[in-house]
Amino acid sequence: MFKTSIQLFLVFPFICSVSRPTVKLIIDTDGVYDDIRGLTIALTNQNVEVIAITTVHGGVTANQSAANVARLLRAIGKHNVPVFIGAQDSLVPKGPIQVWEELFGSDGIGGVPDVEPKTLPSDFNSAQVGNAVDAIINLTKSTKDIILVGLGPLTNIAMAIRKDPDISKRVKQVVIMGGNYLGVGNTQFNSTAEFNFLMDPEAAHIVLSSLHTTMIPWDTCFLKGPEYNEEVDYEESLNQKTKLSYFLSNITARGRQYNKASGQIYAFVDDIAVSVAIDPRIAVRNMTLCSSVELKKEAVARGQVTVDWLTTKYDIVDRAFKTSSNKNDANWLSQTFVTEYNVKRVNEMLIRAVKLSDQSTSSKLQDNIIFIAV
C-alpha cells in the first residue's frame, strides 16, 4: 500500500506538468484546399477548442467557403462547430470572384464533389443565421483569450475592428497567413503582393494599423518550401490509410498537379499559421518589423507589405532583424514575421490529425482507397 502511494505521488506531478491549457480559436477562412488542410489540425487537436469558423471571399465566395467547411466538418464528424458567413467582397468592391480553377478547381477544393464525403445541398444551408463580423465581435466579448486566425483576405477582421475597435484589446493574439516582407508574390494579377492581401489591401491595412499580429508571410512558405522538402515529405499526411487522408489527397490533387507542372513545390501554407497559433514554439525564427500595406490603386505593388527596415537592428542571438520600437514615426505598428518554422512538427500535427479523425478505418476502405500521387 505504501509503495503504491509513492508511485502515485511520483506520477501525478508529471501528469500535471504536461497538461496544457485549451487553446481557443476563431478561424477566418476563404475555404480553399490549403485552408481546409490547416483546419483539420485545429479541429482534431484535443487541446484546441474551435469557438467558430467564419468565412470570407477569396479563392471562392464566402458561401462556397462555408459549404467547403461544412463538408470538412462532416468528414471529421464535428457537428457542433458554428460557421458564420462573412464578407462577399472587399472593402473597395472588386466584383465577382474569378476562381483560379487550374489550381483550386471550380469549388476551391479540387472540384471533386463525388469524393467522400460527397458534396450535399445541405452544405450550403448549414451556416448560422448571424454574420461573421458580429460573430467575431460577440464571441470575443463572451469568451476570453481567443486567438484569431486569419487564413483568407482580412475583410471580416477589418470590419469587426472598424465596428468595435476594442476587439484589438480583447483578443489574445492574431495570427495571419498572408502578406510578405520581401516582395515575393503569388498572384496572377501582380508579382509583388500575396494573394490574401491583394484581395483586400484596405482590410489588410486596417488590421496592421490596429494591432500587432504574428504573420506567416508568403515569402517564408515559398522560399523555405524547397529547403524543408529535404526534411519532410509534404504529402505524407495524404497517404495515410484513413478517410480524412483520402479526402485531403483528392481535394489537393489538382493543386499538386498544377504545382508540379509549374515547377513549384507543394508545401505547407495555412497549416503553418494554424500550427503556430496552437503552439508558438513552432515559429523558430521571427523578425519584428514596422509595417504597412501599399494602397495606391495604380501601383504595381498594390497589396504588398511595406517594411521600415531603417528602424531595425540586427539581433546577434536570434540572428534576425528586429525593430527597436512598437511603431515608427509614421505610426506603422510592429508585426512579427515568422521566417523559419519547425516543419517536422507541422508535418507531425497533420499526420496526427488525419489519424485521429479515423482511428479504426475499415478493411474495406483500406483495400479500395486509391491515394492520388502526382
SS (H, E, C) 232-297: CCCCHHHHCCCHHHHHHHHHCHHHHHHHHHCCCCCCCCHHHHHHHHHCHHHEEEEEEEEEEECCCC
The rounded distance, in Å, linking the Cα atoms of 295 and 337 is 20
Residue whose C-alpha is closest to residue 76's, from 25, 33, 37, 32:
37
* DSSP for residue 124: G
Measure the CA–CA gap between 164 and 368, rounded to whole angstroms: 52
30 has catalytic annotation? yes
Single-letter code of the amino acid located at 84: F
DSSP string, 26-58: EEEE---HHHHHHHHHHHH-TTEEEEEEEE-SS
The number of beta carbons lying within 10 Å of the beta carbon of residue 128 is 14
For residues 196 and 31, give the distance between their C-alpha atoms in angstroms, rounded to a whole number.
Answer: 12
> Nearest 5 degrees, angle CA 141-CA 145-CA 150?
85
Which of 30, 35, 200, 219 is labelled catalytic? 30
108: left (phi over 0), alpha (psi -120 to 50) or beta: left
Give the Cα separation of 191 and 352 in Å (integer): 35
Neighbours of 100 (CB within 10 A): 17
Catalytic residues: 30
